[in-house]
Structure 1
Amino acid sequence: MLVLSRRVGERLIIGDNIVITVIDVRSDGVRIGIDAPREVRVTRAEILEAVTQANVEATRSADDDAVEALRALRPPTPPAPAAASGASAPETPAAQSAKPAVTPAKPAAPRR
């Protein structure tokens, strides 16, 4: 880290196009001005940290809610298969209605 002492009105130049100017010095802080191109993002560190933390918390709670919502959608577990005797469990009405209807094939029309 570079540490410099500057007086009001003095500037720092970063690269070719970023200028930092000391605007005011008070007992509780320093006011600076930053002149940079629009494509250069200038963000206060405490704001960036607060936004990052809020995003992490939002993601965590959203994940928990999503997991619970998916668990609520899970269908009930199917009944255990019948013993090896070959008998099958009776189908529930929901299972019967889920089967596609089978229609007999129509005989082909005779050719003339």
Structure 2
Amino acid sequence: MLVLSRKKNESIMIGDTIEIKIISIDGEQIRLGIEAPRNLEVYRKEIFDAIQEENRLATSGQADWSTIKQLLRTSEGPKDDL
């Protein structure tokens, strides 16, 4: 794992097209801005993990359809709120 220190308004680049910028710092909480190509999906880790688990369950025939519906509703929100 690469660990970097950044201050407000500083950023890091991932490859040529992904920029992660520190927008604000408030106590232990930070706000990140992510500039990435539109064709690249960006998720919060807990949402990504839930999607992966639902995909695993769906392929095993044990999917919980109410959970899938909730995930779809959640993923339809604005991308900048992720």
If the length of structure 1 is used for normalisation, what is the TM-score? Answer: 0.48
Equivalent residue runs for 1:62-81 within 5 Å? none
Query: Match of 2:44?
Result: 44
How many residues are paired up? 62
Structure 1 unaligned spans of 5+: 63-112
Any idea what the Cα deviations from partners look like across 1:16-70, whole Å, max 9, x if unmatched? 11111100112232110000111112111110112233441793168xxxxxxxx
Aligned partner of residue 30 in structure 1, secondary structure: strand
If the length of structure 2 is used for normalisation, what is the TM-score? Answer: 0.63
Query: Match of 2:2?
Result: 2
- Quote the RMSD (CA, aligned, Å): 2.2
Query: Match of 1:19?
Result: 19
Structure 2 unaligned spans of 5+: 65-82
User: Equivalents in 1 of 2:52, 2:34: separation in Å?
Assistant: 23
Aligned partner of residue 23 in structure 1, secondary structure: strand
Within the candidate set 39, 58, 61, 1:59 is matched to 61
Query: Match of 1:98?
Result: none
User: Are 2:54 and 2:63, in contact at CA under 8 Å, matched by a contact in 1?
Assistant: no
State percent identity of aligned pairs: 40
